[in-house]
Chain A
Amino acid sequence: MRATTTPSSLTRLLALPPPLRTRTFSVLSRPPPNYPGHIPLTILERLSLAAGSAIGSLAKPYRHDLIASLGETTAKPYFLSRLHRAMLNNPTGRRILRDRPRITSKSMKLEELRQMPENSVGRAYAAWLDREGVTPDTRDAVRYIDDPEEAYVMQRYRETHDFTHAITGLPVIIEGELAVKAFEFANTLLPMTALSLVAIVRLKKVERQRFLEVYMPWAIRNGLKAEEVINVYWEEELETDVEVLRARLGIEKPPDLRDIRKALREQKRRQKAEREGSGAGAG
């Protein structure tokens, strides 16, 4: 016979709502991982990791692992789900989720990319990698996202970040990275991209002015009007013409940052040489 006494209404009322209830475990009794490399975190762990990563990545912007953990701990509850839904609403996005392609230095062979037609996406990507002196290293694996499919979305976002650099031509220096991050915030709404913009304080005055006048407006304008870049199946677009792809996505090419900086450096050197020349002449 089934007992008719029910648990007290008060204790049930005080029970946590479902999304939080799943996280009520202690560090001594962590639930099993949902995928290889998964580390479930308690709320306190997540908050403190987010805070620590934010401070650490501001102090040392080259700590890519801190930026990665900042991204993962701040992406839930809403933002990563929104990005996931954006992928599910798009036929190409669904194909990406189904195939789950990974971008590694093995899957993107630089020798093949360099052979691709002039002005193609693959060629531009290889050219950008050579210009900046970086390689398509395997990015940090996602560890702190609970749902395996959302973890893949985060991983895909991280791995296609370099492609965004390639088709916009923005360099890896802080200014370029901030411009790409601003564009990604307007396009993907991930909070880490907005939080990274705090690094504006690390820019020199001239750089900051240039960023706020030129690159930030470009990023916001294009990020909002462009298609979701997460839905681009890059592996299939390697031979597409870059101009065609940019037009299809709705992205304008920003002014070349390296050229501007080079021109400014040239100008400064000339001015310095003139001053020294006149000073030497006078002295």
Chain B
Amino acid sequence: MASSPLLVFSPKLFHRLLQLPPTLRRSLYSTTSKPEIYDVVCVGGGPAGLSLLSALRSHPSTERLKVALIDSQDLTTSRAASDTDVYSNRCSSLTPASLRFLRDAGAWDKVEAGRVQDYHGMQVWDGVSGSRISFDPLDGKNGAGLLDALAELVPGNRFRESRRQYGMEDKGVVATMCENQNLTHALLQRLKDTEGVKVLDKTKVESIQLGPEPEDKALDLSQWPIVTLPGERQLAARLLVGADGANSPVRNFANIPSHGWDYNQHGVVATLQLDHAFAELDRRMAYQRFLPTGPIALLPLPNNKASLVWSVTTPLAAKLKALSPPAFASMVNAAFRLQIADLTYFLEHVGTIDIADEFSWRLPNTSPASTGLPQSLPMVKAVQEGSTASFPLRMRHADTYTGHRIALIGDAAHTIHPLAGQGLNLGLADAQSLASSITYGVEHGMDIGSPWCLDEYVSDRWAKNNAVMGVCDKLQKLYSVQSGPVVWGRSLGLGLVDRLAPLKGMVMGAAGGVR
């Protein structure tokens, strides 16, 4: 405790000082600055954290909360790319539920609409047996049964109008592809427009600790998390939200263990150019083939572009990234169209054979019926320069999402395999649920960091996330088997789900995030 410079000047002043009330006295000679107090401090400027803050600012009950956002990256540079022909290789598939949330948060209209692509169906097929399931939203719509079908036949019916919600046309959209940077830019723009959010970017969190012991009748921050930033700046949070990714410091601070396993796989991503362009109003499809090494998915982007996500074993990922662009394009085509025996041969000899040549020989000799190939699958013509990258795949789930004045959302809470495209959507659903818990707390005069407010969030999200992660994990394990009764069983099951419309509707509803 350093002494004030006034001390040295005169003993009289010093005595005068000692007569001041304790709080003022302490503020003069204490150099431990008081931490700035915030209602919500969100560590992490990814889509989950940003959407949580946007949702809070958009609701009348919570818009006056004092919120801060901390991120170590420079958030102002995440602006949408202006080149219409170049797309980022990190794209996400947003379900209709996520879109509704983003619309309510006021962020979706700020997204650059020309770089976003809806798709209207999904074709998923088994690489080993060729059995197939296709998701068409007009097929298994929620509640679309006999009565609905009859009602739609009645001339002059207003059935469709009555089902329109939130101004969203019922166009039969399964999901929407959006670049991650497009989404974060829109969310940041929304936060800037609403003002009042303290955005501290390019700021690394130095430490998080509980506050010091109170000195009688002073403010008791001993149960509050205090975030220390460079320059000895401190933020005390009534509720500290960890949206800071898979290795979350907030989760470590809260001593919340997270369990799971690594898949020993990498997800190879790239932006591909297709052989023909699609118009804006064309029906687009997403395609996914389950290979024994991992699923490969082709997700549509505007015009003639598509996004690739291919899960392969780690050594194969390195080999694939090292391929020349034409060879990589041929390899992607081969992964969708050729038999497993051919593909295994290609992947084994990936450095030594001329893939384009082998592919052009094998394609006419592979009957589409034997591979279950959907007729509408477009051919990949080229790969966008420099867009091949990979990231490790793992599954992690935190034991709980909340602690005292702590909440975790997004990747900090759970990491999932990308085969169902659910990772970002689960994070947005977390943000939506937490925002509604906070809103409820504020409206009922609760302390938003207390367990009574946060427990609602955990009980809403933990079980649902666990179920989705469990299903994705089991699907991954089921489809990594190459032969035998397991293949027969799963093909039979897939065929059954494809034929039973109510069951398929249930699967689609669950994947679409029913809220």
Contact = CB atoms under 8 A, between A and B. Distances in A.
B131 A88 contact: no
Contact of B144 (A4, A85, A89, A97): A4
A18 B499 contact: no
B501 A6 contact: yes
A5 B149 contact: yes
B495 A17 contact: yes
B344 A4 contact: no
Given A4-B138, A4-B152, A89-B341, A22 B369 contact: yes
Contacts of B339: 85, 88
Interface stretch (A7-15, A216-224, A268-276): A7-15
A15 B499 contact: yes
B502 to A, nearest CB: 7
Nearest to B342: A88
A170 B138 CA distance: 65
Contact of B149 (A2, A4, A12, A17): A4
B367 interface: yes
A204 interface: no
A18 B369 contact: yes
Contacts, number: 44
A97 B345 CA distance: 14
Given A4-B152, A17-B495, A88-B342, A9 B369 contact: no
A33 to B, nearest CB: 14
A147 interface: yes
A149 interface: yes
Contacts of B139: 6
B147 to A, nearest CB: 12
Given A6-B139, A18-B130, A22-B369, A89 B501 contact: no
B194 interface: no
B375 to A, nearest CB: 14
A262 interface: no
Contacts of B153: 5
A131 interface: no
Interface in B245-277: none
A25 B92 CA distance: 45
A94 interface: yes
A205 interface: no
A9 B501 contact: yes
A12 B499 contact: yes
Interface string B140-160: 000010001100110000000
A41 B148 CA distance: 44
A94 B499 contact: no
B33 interface: no
A106 interface: no
A167 B144 CA distance: 68
B365 interface: yes
Nearest to B365: A149
A9 B341 contact: no
A22 B501 CA distance: 23
A248 interface: no
Nearest to B172: A2
Contacts of A12: 499
Nearest to B366: A149
Nearest to B353: A91
Interface string A12-50: 110101100010000000000000000000000000000
19 contacts: A2-B138, A4-B138, A4-B148, A4-B149, A4-B152, A9-B502, A15-B499, A18-B130, A18-B369, A18-B372, A22-B369, A88-B341, A88-B345, A89-B341, A89-B345, A94-B345, A97-B365, A98-B361, A147-B370
Interface of A: 2, 4-6, 9, 12-13, 15, 17-18, 22, 84-85, 88-89, 94, 97-98, 147-149
Q: Report the 3 A-B pairs with minimum CB-CB distance, sorted nearest first.
A: A85-B341, A88-B341, A12-B499
Given A88-B345, A149-B365, 5 more contacts: A5-B149, A12-B499, A18-B372, A88-B339, A97-B365
